[in-house]
A and B are shown apart, each in its own frame.
Chain A
Amino acid sequence: MKPADYILLEPISETDREAVWEGVAARLKARKQRRSRGFYALVGGGVLAAAAALTIIVGGRPTEVGTGAVVEARNEAVTVRLSDGSKASVEPLSQLNVLTATPTELRVALPSGSATFEVAHRPERQFAVVAGDIEVQVRGTHFTVRVEPPHGKGERAGHVEVSVERGVVDVVDRLSGERIARLTAGARWSGNALQTKPAAARVQLGEAGGALEEGRQLSRSRGPNEARPEPRSDAKVLFEKATAIRRQGDTRRAMQLYGELLSRYPNDEHSRVAALELGRLRLREGDQPHAAARALEQAVKTDPNSPLQPDALAQLVAAYEQSGDLVQCRRVRARYLSAFPNGAHSAEVRRRCP
């Protein structure tokens, strides 16, 4: 026997093993779909063609969509069927992204616009709609989520509204995991997806009690004298959340959170690692080399003396090579080889953009 055979390892159940395979299969499927979309975008040429390839045009029976699908409704509503039999009606000028569609989890994101969901009752499956910092979790129900564009102007930018027609949903703060409200049929919740929910408002909501009962309406709009909530200061929480989600295999969502961290806390120390992680993930996904380069440029600029610098530069060389920008690729390659001639990546970097 070799020494390795004497090292004990906690066994894993077949169920857990299959869960790992599900994660592998989901990631492979998502990458395949993204590559396929990338191909059609190239064939079509230009942004319009790409948008057409990503838009799901539905006539008659709703089209079934899976992980990685982007449903964009322009002039008229689009209804799609999710892999578990649930339906989503996406209103005009709205977009719905399917983040995860597995037998145990269905997670969609609504960056802006409005969508109504008819969720099939499946106790074994988690169903969640992500709207900014808000997550609507549900078991089986009919409800609508409306999101104002996060980059719009005015008080309603990033505003989220959830109304329930049937069943029960939980409105959850995605970063803390804390439940903000439980809504039953007829109830409505509204708040801002871009800002931290003030504790006072949550208490008020909790004390409302009866407002959670069927048929009642409730609203969490800010009062005229209520202080504007402070931006969340805990970049670490966001970083850890993104990392945990990346580990679960939901690369798309992890990338969203790393991106959010970079835009909200550009000077925080976690942003250095987040920029590198975001660039690395975009590069690994294979269809976003330009976006990867942008994130990696940010990682390189944030702190030139950082120990992360060799990794960031090496990844940046790869990103520029993958994007076809050989001028930038050679520029960054020269910079890497000048600064780290015997670095861990020097052999790999030398081979790039010849």
Chain B
Amino acid sequence: MVAKVLRLVSPVRSAPDEATSVELVKRAQQGDQAAQALLFRRHFSGTRALIFRLVPYDGELEDLVQDTFVHAMESIGSLRTPEAFSGWLRGIAVRVVRNRLRRRGLARRLGLAGTEESQLDIAVSREAPPDVGAELIATYRAFRALKVDSRIILELSRVEGLTNAEVAEALALSLSTVKRHLASAEVEFKDELNRQARGR
């Protein structure tokens, strides 16, 4: 009976959701608020998860998500390729996080921020292979000591599994710059891992 009711109700309620992302982006670009809301709902979880992985200790997760979508919806008119919405939105989220981390770094140096860095540990699913889980935890511990830009580029590459081209898109950098930054961040990261290993 429940299934029957659901089948009856479902098509009607989900009809607006059936629009493709490209259609929604085009409608949102014309100021259609319903399309904007649908795009938000469709991309909310992914964006929230990405921001969380970039700053897992942050008590302002929803704040950062909100900032990301405000920036996105305000500048959606400038998106020339609606098919690229996901990558474009990811770039905005990364910029929002980077700005927040930089401001927080400055505030911390002034003694105006808390010690969130000490909470830069993550919870790993039980389903993760042991080596992957251990590497993730070690990675995030090492992230604490890295510069903001190094941390972000490594997170996108090592944790999100993005290609260099996708990282370049998210950071609005050229491919060669990304390769250079990534190499430098890897050195910084390995030094930190070695330092932590010696400290044990």
Query: Could you tell me the distance between the alpha carbons of A5 and B122 in the complex, rounded to whole angstroms?
Result: 12
Give per-residue flags for B49-68: 1 if the beta carbon is below 8 A from chain A beta carbons, else 0.
11011001000101101100
Known: A24-B70, A247-B60. A6 touches B102 (CB 8 A): no
Is B53 within 8 A of A7, CB to CB?
yes
Contacts A24-B73, A28-B74 given; does A6 touch B44 at CB 8 Å: no
* Bound CA–CA A25/B70 (angstroms): 8
Residue of A nearest to B139 (CB): A3
In the complex, residue of chain A having the shortest beta-carbon distance to the beta carbon of B133: A6
Q: Which of B28-47 contact A (CB under 8 A)?
A: 33, 36-37, 40-41, 44
Q: A273-B112, A344-B102 are in contact. Are A21 and B161 (CB under 8 A)?
A: no
Residue A20 at the B interface, CB < 8 A? Answer: yes
**Complex: A249 Cα to B111 Cα, angstroms:** 25
CA distance A17 to B200 in the complex (A): 42
Expressed in whole angstroms, the Cα–Cα distance for A270 and B111 within the complex equals 10
Question: In which size bucket is the chain A interface?
Answer: 20 to 34
Query: Are A3 and B132 interface neighbours, CB within 8 A?
Result: yes
Among B56, B66, B110, B127, which residue has its beta carbon within 8 angstroms of that of A269?
B110
Which A residue sits closest to B123, measured CB to CB?
A8
Q: How far is the CB of B90 from chain A (nearest CB, A)?
A: 12
Contact A28 B53 (CB under 8 A): no
Q: Among A2, A6, A20, A308, find the residue whose CB has the most chain B CB atoms closer than 10 A.
A: A6
* Chain A neighbourhood of B6, CB < 8 A: none
The 8 Å CB contact of B66, one of A5, A249, A306, is A249
CA–CA, A9 and B47, complex, Å = 12
| Cβ contacts under 8 Å, B160 to chain A | 2, 4
Find out whether the CB atom of A9 lies under 8 angstroms from the CB atom of B112: no
Q: Which residues of the partner chain B approach A273 to less than 8 Å between Cβ atoms? A: 107, 110, 112
Out of A28, A249, A307, name the residue touching B109 (CB < 8 Å): A307
Contact count A vs B, C-beta below 8 Å: 95
* Closest Cβ–Cβ distance, residue B110 to chain A (whole Å): 7
Does any Cβ of A come within 8 Å of B69's Cβ?
yes
Does the CB pair B124–A6 fall under 8 Å?
A: yes
| Cβ contact within 8 Å between B112 and A6 | no
How far apart are B144's CB and chain A's nearest CB, in angstroms?
A: 16
In the bound complex, how far is the Cα of B103 from the Cα of A273, in angstroms? 9
Quick one: which of B33, B60, B70, B132 has the most chain A CB within 10 A? B70
Cα(A31)–Cα(B110), bound, Å:
32
Give A112 to B161 CA distance when docked, in angstroms.
56
Chain B residues whose CB sits within 8 angstroms of the CB of A20 once the complex forms: 44, 62, 65-66, 69
| Given known A3-B132, A31-B74, contact A269–B62 (CB-CB < 8 A) | no
Alpha-carbon separation in the docked complex, A21 to B47 (Å): 13
* Whole-angstrom CA separation of A16 from B61 in the bound complex: 12
Q: Which residues of B contact A31 (CB under 8 A)?
A: 74
Q: Does residue A311 face the partner (Cβ distance < 8 Å to B)?
A: yes
B135 within 8 A of A: yes
Bound-state CA distance A246–B162 (Å) is: 32
Binary interface profile of B, 117-141, with partner A (CB < 8 Å = 1, else 0)? Answer: 0000011110110001101100000
Chain A stretch 16-32: residues in CB contact (< 8 A) with chain B: 16-17, 20-21, 23-25, 27-28, 31
Q: Does B48 contact A (CB under 8 A)?
A: yes
- A227 CB–B CB distance under 8 Å: no
A24-B73, A25-B33, A27-B70 given as contacts; is B122 within 8 A of A7 (CB)?
yes
A47 within 8 A of B: no
Tell me whether A12 is interfacial, beta carbon within 8 Å. Answer: yes
Of B33, B56, B66, the contact of A27 (CB 8 Å cutoff):
B66
Least Cβ–Cβ distance between A21 and chain B, in angstroms? 5
Nearest-neighbour CB distance to chain A for B100, whole angstroms, equals 11
B79: Cβ under 8 A from any A Cβ: no
Query: Is A307 a contact of B66 with CB atoms below 8 Å?
Result: no
Which of A3, A247, A272, A311 has a CB less than 8 Å from the CB of B161? A3
In the bound complex, residues from chain A placing their C-beta under 8 Å from that of B107 are: 273
B106 is an interface residue with CB less than 8 A from chain A: yes
- Of all chain A residues, the one with the shortest Cβ separation from B113 is A273
Cross-chain contact A4 with B159 (CB below 8 angstroms): yes
CB distance from A55 to the nearest CB of B (A): 27
Q: Assess the B40–A24 pair: CB atoms within 8 A.
A: yes
Residues of A within 8 A of B135 (CB): 3
Q: Which of B60, B65, B73, B112 has the most CB of A within 10 A?
A: B112
Write the residues of chain B forming the contact surface with A, with a CB cutoff of 8 angstroms.
Answer: 33, 36-37, 40-41, 44, 48-50, 52-53, 56, 60, 62-63, 65-66, 69-70, 73-74, 102-103, 106-107, 109-112, 122-125, 127-128, 132-133, 135-136, 158-161
For this complex, 19 residue pairs linking A to B, each with C-beta atoms less than 8 Å apart, are A3-B161, A4-B49, A4-B53, A4-B160, A6-B128, A7-B53, A7-B56, A9-B49, A9-B53, A17-B44, A20-B65, A21-B44, A24-B69, A25-B37, A272-B110, A273-B110, A307-B110, A311-B102, A311-B103
Given contacts A3-B161, A344-B102, 12 further A-B contacts (CB under 8 A): A2-B160, A4-B49, A4-B159, A5-B125, A6-B125, A6-B127, A7-B56, A9-B53, A21-B37, A21-B41, A21-B44, A311-B106
